[in-house]
Structure 1
Amino acid sequence: MQILLIEAILSGLFRNVNSSILSEGLAMVSSLIRDLSKAGHNVYTVVCRDLLKLSGFLKASTIVRIDGASLPKLRKLAQSYDLTYIIAPESDGLLARLLEEFDGLHVCSNHETVKRLSDKAVTLSELFKVGLKTPRTLEYNPEVPIDLDFLKPPFIVKPRTGAGCEGLKLFKSFGELKRFLSKEKRELLIQEFIRGIPASVSLLTNGLKVIPISLNRQFISISRCMYLGGYTPVHHRLLKEALEVATNAVEAFKGLRGYIGVDVVLSKDGVYIIEINPRLTVSYVGLSRSLSVNLSNPIIETGLGKTCEFNPNFKAVCYFKKTLFEGPISRVLKISTLLDDIVSPPFPIEDQAKAYGFIAATSDSFKNARATYFKILEELRRETRCKILW
């Protein structure tokens, strides 16, 4: 099939770009291109003029250059291909708008369902109704007085809409929280902080049947409001419960199709659902390298609403990590196309002397995969003379 990939950042649709979020988008795109190409598809990727230097890194795909991306222009382009796959954050309703514009052309979730899931308050309310564990949550509106006695510190505060760790903050006392809220003019969610292990569950659904694939570890920096990567698969005493809970969460929202990610916390009280991501997530980078079968065709089949018999078996553990490079970054860019472990090269945007990239290391265990990651870092330090922070 002729498949068009539209990723919001590479195509120029997402404006507030930095190297951190670019590294996530590029890591997903490069992994999906690799898998779709191996499955025999012809892949075409939309890239805006400002990011054309990354074209060499996407060598398994034909690059479709676009100047001044707009939804009507991209829809007209998509009509020339068998199907379109869209990757975008939920921020400001972007993913829902894209799916609505490409309705009938894409193999992703229904735009109305995505619109509901983009509102985290609505998502949590629906999950609570079906009996799933979610953090205690208050909706903050600057125009309405709020009673914080319902919650106990520490508190997590996040935008009502958004993707990933965008705008995530932690407050340890009522005083800190009240001082912050006194300056805020937007709607927010205030939640109890659930102590435990941040994780996610990757799933497939054709709209009728849900297939859980894996439990994935997540590395998150609240102080930097940043997702840092993770590893997959995870073997944990709550594995079975996590897969069941995530399956129930996806089943609660009709209209989901293809690959779905569910963020959870593995706590001493069980599995708490944090949010549902109705799209490809960065955990796909790890699954692409750790599964014994190619996941791209099942994603397309379930996105089309077809029945898919998929039995996830793993051949390895993949440790994938966002990594900060400082110094002569051009040297890293030169060798990135030669190293399969660099799934997203560091591409400077806000600072020409530093940028984030993504590295994926595989081995037979978490311990060995992590050790391989650090060996890769050491080799890159020697070859590029960059300062590398992880």
Structure 2
Amino acid sequence: MKIFVFEYASAGVLGATPLLTEGYAMLKSICSSLSAAGHEVHTFLFSEINELGIRPPADKIETYSSMHDAEKILSHVDACIPIAPDNLLYDLTKMVEAKTSLIGCPSKSILSCSNKDETYKIVSEVSKYFDVPEYETLPLENDPVVEYCSEIGFPVVIKPVDGSGCEGVSLINSKEEITDAIKKVSYVSMAKKLIVQKFCEGEHMSCSIICSKSRVLPLSMNSQRIKISGNISYLGGISPYPCVHKEEIFEESKNIAQNLELSGFAGIDLLVSGDKISFMEVNPRITTSFIALSNVMRTGELLVSCVEDSLPASVNLNGFGSVVIFPLKRGYDLDYKKILQIPEVISPPFSEEGTTLISVKSPSLYGIVDEINVVQKKLRDLGLLC
């Protein structure tokens, strides 16, 4: 099968964005998994990445200049995997649906998931186990946000209604911080509203699922390493990860996926505290956890099974995988040749104030920590880390 992987950031559609490192890592992982499954892979690659001699394992790599280039490729392939920030994914998916088979969530599901308010309402109606933390949808105005925060009490989380991941999300401890948080939302959101939600303590986890027309297959529970300060940042995770509530979460995730009519790979973000499982959001696309899971299962075969509606009844996970995003110290000497000699580096930094993403695997959960420490030392020896 000829498959076009259109990863928005690494294609260069957004220019030199901070999303490049994570985007290229996902592109590389998807291309590797599809190639290993015997498929012909086509993709775009940002010219600035290509000039560094960094290329994903694809059969045909082209340079993006306009959406017309994408439409030409779509007319000559059997299927496409589109990946983009949630506020851009809908239009991209609509274009794919008009041209070829889609490996991913349909546009109408993306529209529902990209609106957190709508998603929260659906989950509240259909969920047996998940709690939706107290929240309010408000305009991008200071007074109503201050009033609601005072009503529910600090700390609170302020985030875009249509946000993707941790982008534009702030943890607020006082009303003096609200103005800056609203500005942060306005920079990344196409909507004129935001979500204010009571901050909840707990363990950050996600559930990865893959869906076809007739089946929803839960793949794994994943840990999430989240840095919480004024800004909230995702720094990686481990897949699979033990969770005493796994069976209940798998059952509930299948229920939510069916109600939202999800397809392809998707992730459901959760906060687990004792017996309380709080729902955070649905990511209707391939997420960074896919990279870790590709170390322990045949993800390429599963992606194609979505189109063919031939998902297996279960999957075997061979060990543990992890993704870690390392912020780099300022002023380091950027030497791509040395960085890429470290095999665990999936995506190098593409700017002097960027991050690098590594992926490791181990037969045991404890072994994962050892593997991460080994790579961390290699990066520190190169002068990249503090």
TM-score normalised by structure 2 residue count: 0.88
> Matches of residues 208-219 of structure 1 in structure 2 within 5 Å?
208-219=214-225
Aligned partner letter, 1:363: S
Q: Is the 8 A contact 2:5 2:81 kept in 1?
A: yes
Aligned sequence identity (%):
25
CA distances 1:121-168 after superposition (whole Å, capped 9, x unpaired): 111111112134211110111468465265232211101112110011
Tell me the distance in 2 between the aligned counterparts of 1:369 and 1:180. 38
Counterpart in the other structure of 2:305: 301
Aligned partner letter, 2:219: I
Does 2:232 match 1:225?
yes
Counterpart in the other structure of 2:119: 123
Counterpart in the other structure of 1:97: 91
Q: Is the 8 A contact 1:116 1:123 kept in 2?
A: yes
CA distances 1:287-307 after superposition (whole Å, capped 9, x unpaired): 01123xx121111221x2613
Alpha-carbon deviation of 1:180?
5.1
Counterpart in the other structure of 1:320: 323
Tell me the distance in 1 between the aligned counterparts of 2:31 and 2:313. 20
Q: Is the 8 A contact 1:109 1:258 kept in 2?
A: yes
Q: Is the 8 A contact 2:156 2:199 kept in 1?
A: yes
Q: Is the 8 A contact 1:114 1:278 kept in 2?
A: yes
Tell me the distance in 1 between the aligned counterparts of 2:334 and 2:256. 44
Alpha-carbon deviation of 1:67?
4.4
Alpha-carbon deviation of 1:336?
4.7
Counterpart in the other structure of 2:165: 164
Tell me the distance in 1 between the aligned counterparts of 2:164 and 2:9. 14
Alpha-carbon deviation of 1:68?
2.1
Q: Is the 8 A contact 1:245 1:271 kept in 2?
A: no
Q: Is the 8 A contact 1:57 1:336 kept in 2?
A: no
Counterpart in the other structure of 2:343: 340
Tell me the distance in 1 between the aligned counterparts of 2:344 and 2:182. 46
Counterpart in the other structure of 1:85: 81
Structure 1 runs not aligned, ≥5 long: none
3-state SS in 2 of match to 1:13: coil
Counterpart in the other structure of 2:104: 108
More divergent stretch after superposition (281-290 vs 147-156): 147-156
Aligned partner letter, 1:387: L
TM-score normalised by structure 1 residue count: 0.88
Aligned partner letter, 1:356: T
2:40 to 39, 42, 58: 42
RMSD, matched Cα: 2.3
3-state SS in 2 of match to 1:165: coil
Q: Is the 8 A contact 1:329 1:354 kept in 2?
A: no
Q: Is the 8 A contact 1:286 1:360 kept in 2?
A: yes
Query: For this pair of structures, how many residues does the alignment match?
Result: 371
Cα distance change on mapping 1:130 and 1:177 into 2, 3 Å: farther
Aligned partner letter, 1:75: E
Tell me the distance in 1 between the aligned counterparts of 2:284 and 2:316. 23
3-state SS in 2 of match to 1:207: coil
1:239 to 230, 234, 246: 246
Structure 2 runs not aligned, ≥5 long: 187-191
3-state SS in 2 of match to 1:56: coil
Counterpart in the other structure of 1:11: 11
CA distances 1:86-130 after superposition (whole Å, capped 9, x unpaired): 11110xx31000000111422221112101211111111111121
Cα distance change on mapping 1:340 and 1:311 into 2, 3 Å: farther
> Matches of residues 248-259 of structure 1 in structure 2 within 5 Å?
248-254=255-261, 256-259=262-265
